[in-house]
Amino acid sequence: MGVFTFVLRKSGTEWTAKQHSGYIENSASSTYDLQRKLVNAVRAADSSGAVQSSFSFVSPSSAVFQVVVGGAVFVGGGTVAAAHAGGAVAESAAPGAEKKEEKVAEEEDEDFGMLLFD
């Protein structure tokens, strides 16, 4: 599993990206195009599994973009493990996840001295 984190900055009309701890750099006229270029560069560097990405603006002229290769992907309450050698996917359910969430919600209600759902 590989995690690639990029810092994006806008200068004029051009967006540039530099990898936080690495050598990958790229630029484009839009954040969308830059994300596509970065994902392709990451795939060239690490093609060991499925790719997930996350993008967040920090300010109007800066952002953080993260690409995760391989690892586990969360889908509908369960997890799907990304295969390293080919694309086979194995699913595993997360039993009891809903029960834990309900108990946490009740405890949070009690912390405020009131109940939300009477």
pLDDT on residue 101: 56
- Long-range pairs for 108-116: beta carbons < 8 A, 24 or more residues apart: none
Question: Do 25 and 10 sit in the same domain of this protein?
Answer: yes
Residue 118 within any structural domain of the chain: no
Domain that holds residue 50: 2-69
pLDDT on residue 1: 78
Residue 106 contacts residue 114 (beta carbons within 8 Å): no
Per-residue pLDDT of the chain (118 residues; tens, 9 = 90+): 789 999 999 999 999 999 988 899 999 999 999 999 999 999 999 888 899 999 999 999 999 999 999 876 555 554 444 444 444 444 444 555 555 555 555 555 455 565 556 5
Q: Which residues contact 5 (CB under 8 A, 6 or more apart)?
A: 19, 20, 21, 64, 65, 66
Residue 116 within any structural domain of the chain: no
